[in-house]
Amino acid sequence: MTAVRYLRYLYQAHLSSPAHQREIYRTIRHESPITRIVQIGVGDGVLAQKVIKFAQEYAGEAQIEYTGIDMFEAREQKDGMPLKQAHKCLVATGAKVKLTPGTASMALPRLANSLPNTQLLLIAADQDAGDVNAALSWLPRMLTEKSAIFWERLGNDGLHIEKLSLSDFTAPAAARRAA
- Residues facing 126 on adjacent strands: none
pLDDT one-digit tens code per residue, 138-175: 999 999 999 999 999 988 888 899 999 888 876 654 35
Neighbours of 159 (CB within 10 A): 14
Predicted TM-score (pTM) of this structure: 0.90
Number of domains observed in the structure of the chain: 1
Q: What is the pLDDT of residue 171?
A: 63
In this prediction, residue 155 carries a pLDDT of 83
Instruction: Please give the full DSSP string across 94-161, using - where no structure is assigned.
Output: TSEEEEEES-HHHHHHHHGGG-TTEEEEEE-TTS-HHHHHHTGGGHHHHEEEEEEEEEEEEETTEEEE
H or E segment and range at residue 88 = helix 83-91
Q: Which domain holds residue 86?
A: 3-178
Residue 124: which CATH number? 3.40.50.150
Predicted local distance difference test score (pLDDT) of residue 177:
44
- Rounded CA-CA distance 152/124 in Å is 5
Low-confidence ranges of the chain (pLDDT < 70): 1, 170-179
pLDDT at residue 1, rounded to an integer: 56
33-46 tens-digit pLDDT: 999 999 999 999 99
